Each structure stands twice: as structure tokens, then as C-alpha cells.
A and B are shown apart, each in its own frame.
Chain A
Amino acid sequence: MADLTVSQIRALIVKHKRLDLIFACIGVFALMVGVLTFVALFTGMVMDGAHRISWDFFTNFPSRRAEHAGILSAWVGSTLVMVVTAVTAIPVGIGGAVYLEEYAPKNWMTDIIEINVTNLAGVPSIIYGLLALGLFVYQFGFGQSILSAGLTLALLILPIVIVATREAIRSIPAVIREGAYALGATKWQTTADHILPYSIPGILTGVIIGLARAIGETAPIITIGALTFIAFLPPAPFTGDPPAGPFDWLFAPFTVMPIQMFNWTSRPEAAFHQNAAAAGLVLVVMTLSMNALAIYIRYRLRKNIKW
């Protein structure tokens, strides 16, 4: 260092720190593009739609008159579709992931399956819609129903659930797994007593993020033929005349929140655009609260696990 004087060293540091600053500016700018876009969108929706949010908005069916139109059929439809999606995607996704991580022999077949599962997450959702139209709607004869929609979205989020579950399982240290096996546990005992309970925080996070994505999906639901205007609810079990069976609602026609929005946005009247903004606001709040729930659950359950 003898060939550099103190003042030269200081000049060098000033120069290097300038680069630091420049990079930090670029970083902040990049971050702001994302954040500000969302804030602008959200603010726009609030300004357009907030005044439409009222109790009536949630309890009214869509209507030709914008001021009377509500999202009852849409939010009930979205909720029921999510129930079907969750009930199918959670066990199937967890089962597949546990098999891949704990049971499957490590060979080229498993490798191919692994790569494909990851790739499935990147398949455009409309492709799932086309598959479902052929398979669920016509082949299985489920029709343009809540069941078809729920199964379609379940397929869509299956890769998300599988990947999240596998990551959660992988984050369990090998010594914990070995500790269970060393006591004479079988694969299933190890899985049921240790692997699954310790990966629940990660699995739940993945499931909720998957559902949050599914609730906003429009393309596959339109493809299988959801209605855009519907003024009745699916039959609740054991009501009506003759009484509906416990699962009749599965086969009912339906609509979901994003389709209701889409319908309103395509109307020429400004009043309907305000309804669309209000419905969008509800949808964003639903999605954000699901994500918040995921973060909270992970925080709560991980408190007891230290490794």
C-alpha cells in the first residue's frame, strides 16, 4: 500500500462509494415501479368504487340498473369454487409431494416428474381451461358447474402446492428424520409423526398463496363456460322443493368475482365501471387478507420450531 498516499486512498473510497449510491438509486427505482403501480391501481379503485361498497352491494344480485347491482352470486360462487379447489388440491398436492420427497426412488423417472411439476406452474391458465372443458365438462359430464371450475383451479394450483410442500419437507434437517428412523420408525410413522407436522407452516403458506392466485383467475373459468350474469344462488343442501341433495350445489351454474368484474367493465355506462372497481376492491382485499393470513400462520407455527 506504500504506493498510495492517504489522500489517494480517500479519493478512491469517495469514488467507490459513488457507485454504491448509484446502484442504490437504481434499486429504489426498480422497487418503486412495482410498488407505485400497485398503489396507483389500488387508489384508483378506491376512488372509483369505494362509495359503492355497502351491505346491499354484497347481498344484491347483479342487475340491469347499476345502482342496484351487487356481487352476491359472484362472491358466493367464488367461495364455493375455492372450497372445491382447496378440498381437492390440498390432499392431492401434499400426497404427491410427500411421495416425491419421502417415498419415490431417486432415478431418472422421478427427475422427469420433478422437472415437469415445476414446469406445470408456468403453463398459461387458459390451457388448463381447455383441458378442463374437454375433460371435466364433457368427458366426465360435470357440465359448466362449480365442480368443474373448482377442479380446474385445483389443477392450476397443484404445482404451487406441491412445490411449497416439497420445500417445507426439505427444510427439515436430515438429523431429525434420521432421529425418527433410528428409533425404529417406519416411513409412514416418520412422515405422519414428524415430516408432515413440521412442514405444516410451509404447506399452509403454499396452499393459501395458491388459493389467492386461483381466486383471481378468469381465463380458465370463462373457457369452461361460467355465466356472466346470474341472478340465483346454487341450491343450499336440503332446501327448496323438491329438497336439494347435499351435493347438488356442486353441479349448479355459477359466476365468480373476476368474471362479474369483466362483465361490468365491458358495459358502456360509467356507473357499471364503478361497480367493477368496487368488486375489484373486494377481490384485492380478499387476496391480500389471504396472504396476510399465510404470513401470520407461518409466524405462529414456526415460533416453536428452531433449527
Chain B
Amino acid sequence: MSKITDGATAQANLVLKAEARALSFYYGTFQALKSINMPIYDKKVTALIGPSGCGKSTYLRCFNRMHDLYPGNRYEGEIRLHPDNTNLLNPHVDPIEVRMRISMVFQKPNPFPKSIYENVAYGLRVRGVRGVATIDEKVEQALRNAALWDEVKDRLHELAFNLSGGQQQRMCIARALATEPEILLFDEPTSALDPIATASIEELIADLRHKVTILIVTHNMQQAARVSDFTAYMYLGEMMEFDATDTIFIKPKNKATEDYITGRFG
């Protein structure tokens, strides 16, 4: 079990994967994120919790520059990606480059109206991977990593819509994994799923933590406690507290965090 029990002693083994430095974000004139500083550790699961509208999804979507798709959005500050120390928010860094390194799984499963195979292969096709054998192999690997291979191996060329909701979401995870991203972003990945499908996704996240760095937004406190190594509590666009998950849930330093976690608020 790699869970961090004591933030101070465990720091030594941790490798920094990314780091938000004085990150602010504006939708037009509205400031949605207020000078956030936060480390993301390599091959760990970091959960973002907080009440609706606190900016956790906004924060997550800074990591793959999703905000660039819409006009009027503005970043301030930096997100440094290690080991190369690239500032992801630098206007000279192409958002496409960022998205090729950092994948995302959305709130609602969003399969393309194509076959399962084509869905998973799409990231590879975008990168210009051509060989059929290579793509076959990577698609299989991604589906195995997403614990979906055995369920779909005989119907790879059927439409992805024919899968159940939970299977669709695991397929979207496979799609995000196929290109071997450095960080995988999850935006409330189980909010549209039933409890059984949710359990399978959580199990998957637990398995994936050894392969990839994960950043997950969740509404569900138990989910954060179950799947994450680190937890950040956000409120009104500010980072209220960041620590090892056990610390956050057992003895939070901040009164506001404690109130939220114990259900007195939010």
C-alpha cells in the first residue's frame, strides 16, 4: 500500500510531476481561480474536492488547456510539467502539445459514434500512427489497462453506443490511455454511473495509479478517500487545504475543510 500516512516523512520518496504556481483563471471578468499553488506527485492519485462552483473542474481543465477552446478565457500564473519544466500555460506552448501529453476523461461518457476500436485508436490516428499491427496492439493494451478487453474483444467493430454506461466510461479511459499520457485527468468520471459501474471505475483508478499520474475531480467524499493519495479542498476558487488524503480526512488543519468533510457544510 503506497498510501501516505504522514506527509512529512513521505515527502522524500515523492517525485514532483506537475506544479501549479500562483494559478489564476478568468472567465471574461469573473475570476474563477485565485492564485492556486499545488504540487502533483508522480504516479499518485490526487483528488480535488469542494462544493459545486468551487472551481475544481475549472482547475482541472487548465491542465489540458481546454479553456482555450472558448473565447474570453484567461490564465495567469503557471503550471509546470516535470521533468522538462515546461509551463503548460505559456501562450507559446501549443495547447495541442499539452493535450498530447495529458489526457482527459469526462463527466459523462462521450464515445464518438464510431466503433469501439476506432474510438480507442483515435488518439493514435491523430498522432499519425499508421501501421495496423501497431494500432491493434496499442488498442488491445489500452483496453486491457481499462479492464474492458475481455468484455469487448469479440465486438471491437460494433458501435460504442451499444456498450453500457460503465463500459462506455471504461472505453473512454482506454481511449485516454492509448496514447500513454503522462497525466490522466478525470472530471467526476462516475457522476453519471450507477454504484456497480462506479465501483468498477474506482477499482480501475486504483490499478492505474502505478502506471500514470492521476488528477481526479470528485463530488463524492468517500470516493476521494477511497481512491486518492492526496486531496485538495477547494472553496470559491481558492485552494483551502492540500495534504495526504489520510491527513485531510482524519485531522484537517483547516476548520472549513473539516466542516465540509464532516458534512456540516456543502
Contacts and interface: CB of A to CB of B under 8 A. Distances in A.
Contacts of A179: 106, 110, 112, 172
A182 B104 contact: yes
A184 interface: yes
A304 interface: yes
Contacts of B211: none
B219 interface: no
Contact of A183 (B69, B99, B107, B161): B99
Contacts of B26: none
A184 B66 contact: no
Contacts of A289: none
Given A173-B110, A175-B110, A194-B112, A183 B66 contact: no
B100 interface: yes
Contact of A182 (B64, B108, B125, B159): B64
Contacts of A304: 113, 159, 161
A305 B100 contact: no
Nearest to A307: B113
Nearest to B123: A183
B110 A176 contact: yes
A184 B110 contact: no
A181 B100 contact: no
A186 B96 CA distance: 7
A194 B111 CA distance: 11
B87 interface: no
B106 A184 contact: no
Contacts of B123: 183-184
A305 B111 CA distance: 10
Interface string B64-84: 101001010000000000000
A181 B66 contact: yes
Interface string A284-307: 000000000000000000001111
A185 B126 CA distance: 6
Most chain B beta carbons < 10 A, residue from A105, A176, A179, A305: A179
A248 interface: no
Given A179-B110, A181-B66, A184-B179, A189 B99 contact: no
B126 A178 contact: no
Interface of A: 105-106, 173, 175-186, 189, 193-194, 198, 304-307
19 contacts: A106-B71, A175-B106, A175-B108, A176-B112, A178-B69, A179-B110, A179-B172, A181-B99, A182-B99, A182-B103, A182-B104, A183-B122, A184-B100, A184-B126, A184-B127, A185-B122, A186-B96, A186-B126, A306-B113
Interface of B: 64, 66, 69, 71, 96-97, 99-100, 103-104, 106-108, 110, 112-113, 122-123, 125-127, 159, 161, 172, 175-176, 179
Given A179-B172, A182-B176, 6 more contacts: A179-B106, A183-B122, A183-B126, A183-B175, A194-B112, A304-B159
